[in-house]
Chain A
Amino acid sequence: AQTVTQSQPEMSVQEAETVTLSCTYDTSESNYYLFWYKQPPSRQMILVIRQEAYKQQNATENRFSVNFQKAAKSFSLKISDSQLGDTAMYFCAFLNYGGSQGNLIFGKGTKLSVKP
């Protein structure tokens, strides 16, 4: 069974600084996707970034980028130029697409606070 581990329950960063959230996962599959989702106080889940396991190039979306280390099964999220609106819970998630219906497996989350 696949597992997703986020070892940082809470983190804080000053506005405009850079912060990195950690995520490791365990799987025997070779074809999968990894995601970072943001859940602000409204509790609406928002997709931040997606990485396909077969792609070696790290995904980037504006101020958000990942460091995907497939051999190490590590998938960290870097937020550059942090903004107050980045304050939220961040969940790392795994999706095995070989024979899967698309059900996501989530880590326990990291609560990020951006301080002015």
Chain B
Amino acid sequence: GAVVSQHPSRVICKSGTSVKIECRSLDFQATTMFWYRQFPKQSLMLMATSNEGSKATYEQGVEKDKFLINHASLTLSTLTVTSAHPEDSSFYICSAGGRGKIYEQYFGPGTRLTVT
């Protein structure tokens, strides 16, 4: 149990376009989902925390108008990178929690975004 999927696994888009990444908890209800960004050979940096049905909480320095997060249901959260630029190219990872234990967090396999 406790599987989290991400779609797509890889995406290439042109500069100026928007791209949506989906994060789904497949076999449990995730009241909280987290979005991380990981640059090559670096650690995971939390971008935002989203709770189902409410606005996401963004970390300092993360542009909320650029990285739109929607947690519309207990099994789906989406991250939309708007007006993407090459510097947005990165590996985006989501994780899901909310099975009752705050220390239980399950990671998706990640999405590699390349902006050309």
Counted as pairs of residues, one from A and one from B, with CB atoms less than 8 Å apart, the total is 54
The answer to the question of B75 belonging to the interface, with a C-beta cut-off of 8 Å to chain A, is no
CA distance A109 to B57 in the complex (A): 25
Interface residues on B, range: 20 to 34
Secondary structure of the A contact surface, majority rule: loop
User: Nearest chain-B residue to A32 (Cβ)?
Assistant: B103
Neighbour of B110 across the interface among A43, A50, A101, CB < 8 A: A43
Taking a contact as CB atoms under 8 Å apart, the answer to whether B49 and A44 are in contact is no
The answer to the question of A85 belonging to the interface, with a C-beta cut-off of 8 Å to chain B, is no
Neighbour of B32 across the interface among A46, A95, A101, A105, CB < 8 A: A101
Given A102-B34, A104-B46: A50 and B93 interface contact (C-beta under 8 Å): no
Taking a contact as CB atoms under 8 Å apart, the answer to whether B34 and A103 are in contact is yes
Q: Which of B32, B34, B43, B105 has the most A CB atoms < 10 Å from its CB?
A: B43
**Chain A interface, number of residues (Cβ within 8 angstroms):** 22
Complex contacts, B107 vs chain A, CB 8 Å:
44-46
User: Nearest chain-B residue to A105 (Cβ)?
Assistant: B46
CA distance A52 to B101 in the complex (A): 12
Given contacts A43-B109, A44-B107, A102-B102, 16 further A-B contacts (CB under 8 A): A43-B91, A43-B110, A44-B109, A95-B102, A97-B103, A100-B102, A101-B32, A101-B49, A101-B51, A102-B32, A102-B103, A102-B105, A104-B34, A107-B43, A108-B42, A109-B42
Query: A residues near B, CB below 8 A?
Result: 33, 35, 42-46, 50, 52, 91, 95, 97, 100-109
